[in-house]
């Protein structure tokens, strides 16, 4: 990956070097196995640093072309896929999900009662496609451990690390049979919604999600190493997966590390992709160009569609911190949500510089990216540590990047 002189794009190289110094300490005292971080100004990579280990126990250095499990950084990619179909007139955001997936035609909402025999009521309005993209559909994740519906998901076999043997069509039918946490459009709750988005892409396009992403996104952008699993020939490039939970040092998790090493039963648009730094930077460049695949021409999306996706769609411009269902999500104060991306509405709970309009998302294994259209600035951080809340990496990275901004 070629880089430019930071000063030529308005960044201070000496201050950027603080990023590497700061996160080297995380690696050297065992809090992170390793990291690879990129800072962009416009379409150019102005700075990149890598340090640490792909496999700590074997002292195997982290490679430039290391492959990472990006988990929920899959969601923006799947959302772009659906919006490509919206632009082609094959999907409308205001259509009921049941138009494409009949099992979602009559959703029921949890009212009260125990997890074994919950009382549910018929939803007052249909679940629409835009509800899925904004995480306002009423779906959830079993790993939230916050509500009875979360436990219902877990009892159905939907917890983090659970082995799923269903294909995507069957999986979505099983999700549809579970009660909603809340009425569609009534609150924000992080959920399996983007897996359902992936199934709608399949139905509307007539292609598997794997094929659609490869043909319509990965190949045009040159994302050669991004896929739903890492074939055996590339296993040596897959970075080891570690768990933190505020323990020092981070611990290699052999069970979770198997993820990504074999073909999955279903294509998870919500969290199934593996990728490299170079590949994800190619995806970010497309977003910075507001939909253009490259300087030679060709587009994945129009400029207005990218603008639509990266605008806060929560009603009244509210943020997740005040409107989120699970815990109230106070750490996400100042953060709204668009069509597949978080969208910053203010400085937020972290009190780091986060200008309104900044958008992005992160993954379970502490990967993250953001793009700031106001300052034409972007950054991405790659590592393999679960959960992403173990350390305040994202707030610290933003502070360090903006501390290097000259203009």
Range name among 80-94, 140-154, 321-335 with the lowest pLDDT average: 321-335
pLDDT confidence band for 329 (50 / 70 / 90) = low
pLDDT confidence band for 265 (50 / 70 / 90) = very high
What is the C-alpha separation between 156 and 150, in angstroms, rounded? 10
pLDDT at 33: 96
At 339-357, the pLDDT tens digits run 999 999 987 766 788 899 9
What is the C-alpha separation between 363 and 273, in angstroms, rounded? 10
pLDDT at 296: 66
Q: Which residues contact 359 (CB under 8 A, 6 or more apart)?
A: 310, 338, 341, 342, 343, 344, 370, 371
Q: Does any domain span residue 92?
A: yes
Number of domains in the chain: 2
Residues 153 and 271 in one domain: no
Burial class (CB in 10 A: 0-12, 13-18, 19+), 306: buried
3-state secondary structure of 184: coil
Name the residue range of residue 258's domain: 6-72+225-402
Secondary element (H or E) of residue 77: helix 75-87
* 8-state DSSP, 155: H
Evaluate if residue 122 carries a pLDDT over 60: yes
Evaluate if residue 253 carries a pLDDT over 90: no
Q: Does any domain span residue 215?
A: no
At 13-45, the pLDDT tens digits run 999 999 999 999 999 999 999 999 999 999 999
Residues 357 and 232 in one domain: yes
Residues 101 and 165 in one domain: yes
Q: How many Cβ atoms sit within 10 Å of the Cβ of residue 118?
A: 17
- The CATH number covering residue 199 comes to 3.40.710.10
CA diameter of the chain: 64
At 66-101, the pLDDT tens digits run 999 999 999 999 999 999 999 999 999 999 999 999
Contact 160, 216 (CB under 8 A): no
What is the C-alpha separation between 293 and 170, in angstroms, rounded? 34
Residues 60 and 87 in one domain: no
Helices (H), 242-385: 254-257, 277-288, 303-309, 320-323
Range name among 200-209, 309-318, 339-348, 365-374 with the lowest pLDDT average: 339-348
Judge if the upstream peptide bond of residue 167 is cis by omega within 30 degrees of 0: no
pLDDT at 310: 98
Q: What is the average pLDDT value for the chain, to the nearest integer?
A: 94
Q: What is the pTM of this model?
A: 0.96
pLDDT at 340: 98
pLDDT at 346: 83
Residues 350 and 296 in one domain: yes
What is the C-alpha separation between 104 and 173, in angstroms, rounded? 8
What is the C-alpha separation between 79 and 75, in angstroms, rounded? 6
């Amino acid at each position: 990956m070629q880089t430019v002189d930071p000063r030529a794009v308005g960044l201070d190289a000496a201050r950027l070097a603080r990023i590497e110094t700061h996160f080297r300490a995380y690696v050297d005292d065992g809090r992170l196995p390793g990291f690879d971080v990129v800072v962009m100004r416009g379409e150019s990579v102005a700075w990149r640093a890598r340090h640490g280990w792909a496999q700590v126990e074997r002292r195997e250095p982290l490679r430039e072309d290391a492959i990472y499990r990006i988990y929920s950084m899959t969601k923006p990619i799947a959302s772009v896929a659906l919006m490509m179909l919206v632009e082609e007139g094959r999907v409308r955001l205001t259509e009921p999900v049941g138009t494409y997936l009949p099992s979602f035609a009559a959703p029921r909402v949890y009212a009260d009662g125990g997890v074994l025999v919950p009382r549910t009521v018929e939803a007052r309005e249909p679940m629409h496609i835009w509800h899925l993209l904004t995480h306002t559909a009423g779906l959830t994740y079993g790993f939230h451990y916050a509500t009875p519906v979360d436990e219902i998901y877990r009892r159905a076999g939907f917890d983090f690390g659970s082995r799923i043997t269903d294909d995507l069509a069957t999986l979505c039918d099983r999700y549809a049979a579970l009660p909603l946490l809340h009425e569609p459009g009534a609150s924000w709750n992080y959920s399996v919604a983007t897996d359902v988005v992936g199934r709608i892409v399949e139905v509307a396009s007539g292609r598997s999600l794997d094929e659609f992403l490869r043909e319509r996104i990965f190949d045009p952008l040159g994302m050669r190493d991004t896929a739903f699993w890492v074939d055996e020939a590339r296993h040596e490039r897959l970075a080891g997966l570690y768990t933190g939970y505020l323990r020092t040092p981070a611990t290699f998790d052999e069970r979770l590390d198997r993820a990504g090493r074999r073909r999955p039963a279903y294509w998870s648009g919500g969290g199934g992709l593996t990728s490299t730094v170079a590949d994800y930077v190619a995806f970010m460049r497309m977003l910075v160009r507001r939909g253009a695949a490259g300087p030679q021409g060709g587009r994945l999306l129009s400029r207005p569609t990218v603008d639509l996706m990266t605008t806060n769609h929560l009603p009244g411009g509210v943020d997740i911190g005040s409107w989120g269902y699970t815990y109230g999500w106070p750490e996400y104060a100042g953060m709204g949500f668009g069509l597949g991306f978080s969208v910053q509405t203010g400085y937020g709970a972290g009190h780091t510089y986060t200008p309104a309009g900044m958008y992005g998302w992160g993954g379970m294994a502490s990967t993250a990216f953001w793009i700031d259209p106001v300052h034409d600035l972007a950054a991405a951080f790659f590592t393999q540590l679960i959960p992403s809340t173990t350390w305040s990496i994202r707030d610290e990275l933003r502070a360090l990047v903006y501390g290097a901004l000259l203009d």
